[in-house]
Copies of this chain bind each other. A is one copy, B any other.
């Protein structure tokens, strides 16, 4: 599949690398195109499906630079987190108690089919779930069932069995997926590393 990956940080590079390994035709987009990256708009236009792996604090700006017309009708997988590290630890997580980046992006790009996914684990774990022992789960949410089904299919290629992916419903559930990062940061300190994830016991 033709896929655009926006963002050249660890998350963008990790996801783009895995997608290429799986045989997808990937273009990576960045603000300042360079050797390994094209402008945001070119990467978004290339993709039948687009991953937002930009820094959450600048995601809306990056997506605007990519151009709404390049997301129309497409699945937009939002992997971003808003993390304010400017005041030191603990980092402040999220955009608001009653909003989320996922919702902001869906509102700003109403024709995109936004699916929040992968933001609850470290980049290594995203594409190599077996690096964390035992059963553990990933979450997806979004307003479009077909878009979520396509993302779940892609995530299977990353190593996530469908039964380990929990559909949380509409994009409004991105609040929980994003605010969870505050707990994740504490867990990372407690565990002593980012090779962790949670399993929903029920």
Give residues in A with beta carbon < 8 Å to B.
87, 90, 92-94, 96-98, 132-136, 139, 141, 166-169, 172-173, 175-177, 179-180, 182-187, 189-191, 193, 195-202
Contacts and interface: CB of A to CB of B under 8 A. Distances in A.
Contacts of A182: 175-176, 179-180
B202 A133 contact: yes
Copies in the complex: 2
Nearest to A187: B200
Contact of A176 (B185, B197, B202): B185
A105 B175 CA distance: 25
A186 B102 CA distance: 15
Contact of A186 (B87, B97, B136, B141): B141
Nearest to A167: B190
Contacts of A90: 172-173, 175
* 5 shortest interchain CB distances as A-B pairs: A176-B183, A136-B201, A176-B182, A179-B179, A168-B186
